[in-house]
Chain A
Amino acid sequence: MADAALIVKDLEKTYASQEGRPGSQALKGVSLTVEQGDFFALLGPNGAGKSTLIGIVTGLVNKTGGEVHVHGVNIDESPEKARTFIGVVPQNMNLDYFGKINDIVINQAGYYGIPRAVAIPRTDQLFKDLGLYEKRNDQARTLSGGMMRRLMIARALIHQPQFLILDEPTAGVDVELRRSMWDYLTKLTKAGVTILLTTHYLEEAEQLANKVAIINKGEIVLNDTMQNVLAMHNEELAAKEGFRGGKLEEIFIQMTKEK
């Protein structure tokens, strides 16, 4: 059996106190598995620990406990090898705003050891797929927010990763563009790319993901297939409490509300 795309075991992260701010425990022993081919939605309220978890998996945050395996590779033992499997679209824009968007993506390929001769046609194709081709010689700072998001997706895909992590990729994106991104992500899943998605648009997760985990205050409070999770929906309770959202949204609120 193939290795899971991601195995997280008892993951802990405590941020140290600094500059007058108290320390905080962002992850309290989180465990989850993302199988190859999954479209996995990791949901949670702001500050729940989603971005910390993604930061640890991608090498941007140092964990304080637990284990992470990416495609069977322990990130403590072979961090560089583990990163070859991953493409990441972060929540916050992290672009060289004065760089041409062509160069940003071609350079990213270079950091993965892909020569320019290979990277240039790949970049052109990604830009055509994502509607950025006409802008390829523009500086990143001249792009709209939605185009910057698409640029970050192109950058994450340039080395053809097997495991794509998207941290709120549709935040601040208009409806039309969001739907075109959904179509693109669905195509990627069909092509065999495993996707881990965090989002606050729960209808997005409901439509796209086959597995879902909800994290709250650094702990996983729900982890199952989308089908099983949606089956948990209690129509009577929802009617009693006056919910007006989708099924997943109502379950999310139930799981994360203050007891």
Chain B
Amino acid sequence: MNAYQTWVSFYTIVRKDVVRIFRIWAQTFLPSVVTSVLYFVIFGAFLGSRIGEVQGVPYISFVVPGLVMLAVVTNSYMNTSFTMFMSKFFGRNIDEILVSPTPPWVIVAGYIAGGMVRGVIIGVLVLAVSLFFTHLAIYNIFAVIGFLLLTSLVFSVAGLVNGVYAKSIDSINIVPTFVLTPLVYLGGVFYSAEALPGFWGSLTKFDPVFYIINGFRYGLLGIADVSIWFSVGILVGLSVLFLAIAIYLIKTGLGLRQ
């Protein structure tokens, strides 16, 4: 395939997924928006008024970056893992791409782009919803955009790896429930790592989601527990690792070809 044909193939994979995402908007966009409203009401407006300030900002503003990232992480992950799994097990229409000359890296890029589109749109929606509850003056727009994109990239690729390798629907649901959700909650959505006692504070620093929230919180509020460049390094490292695994899986056909 020449460069133009490769682009057409990539665009086709992305277009198909984005059309699907918008067609079932009540399943893809609405749940995260509704959940975020509940979080903002309960943790922000209700509990937040009793907690007061954290690291110099109102508590409701403090939790916004974590709640945006919670939505981005879970939606990016679920989009690619679910789309890949469904195309493998229901209808087996992944074969449409596998019999075509589309190179493995384009398949990976196409699926990831679909996950990123959903993750970024939901991130923006949750951020927009937060404006009904608090005032936000973005501290560093480049950090906001950069962490939004990098986070959706990392978790789209991770979801794709899960989707390719999954042998049952349980394998798709286990990771978000038992891995992603704890990582996000323990990654400092609702608290600052500084506030945790020694051992727990150290443990949090092994949680990759901590660095995501740290970086995004810096972009929105200008406060960070660790260097944002260290956070960028962690995200880039994870992206490279998961991308290498995803391309290897598609190229060799592990989990896809017999």
Contacts and interface: CB of A to CB of B under 8 A. Distances in A.
Given A15-B258, A103-B16, A110-B9, A81 B91 contact: no
A107 B102 contact: no
Interface stretch (B44-52, B92-100, B192-200): B92-100
Contacts of B11: 110
Contacts of A84: 1, 101
B12 interface: yes
Contacts of B12: 107, 110-111
A95 B91 contact: yes
A94 B93 contact: yes
B258 A95 contact: no
A223 interface: no
Given A110-B11, A111-B12, A112-B9, A60 B91 contact: no
Interface in B69-103: 87, 90-93, 95-103
A81 B99 contact: no
Contact of B99 (A60, A92, A95): A60
A60 B257 contact: yes
A60 B16 contact: no
Contact of A58 (B9, B16, B91, B99): B99
A155 interface: yes
B55 interface: no
A42 interface: no
Interface in A98-124: 99, 103-104, 107-108, 110-115
A88 B92 CA distance: 14
B98 A96 contact: no
B96 A81 contact: no
B92 A112 contact: no
Given A92-B92, A95-B91, A113-B8, A59 B102 contact: no
B16 A107 contact: yes
Contacts of A86: 99
Interface in A78-95: 80-81, 83-84, 86, 88, 90, 92-95
Contacts, number: 86
A177 interface: no
A62 B258 contact: yes
A61 interface: yes
B4 interface: yes
Q: Which of B95, B101, B252 has the most chain A CB atoms inside 10 A of its CB?
A: B101
B99 A88 contact: yes
B5 interface: yes
Contact of B9 (A59, A97, A113): A113
Contact of B95 (A62, A80, A94): A94
Contacts of B31: none
Nearest to A58: B99
B171 interface: no
Contacts of B103: 80
Interface of B: 1-2, 4-6, 8-9, 11-13, 15-16, 19, 87, 90-93, 95-103, 252-253, 257-258
5 contacts: A62-B252, A94-B92, A97-B91, A110-B13, A112-B5
Interface of A: 15, 55, 58-62, 80-81, 83-84, 86, 88, 90, 92-97, 99, 103-104, 107-108, 110-115, 155
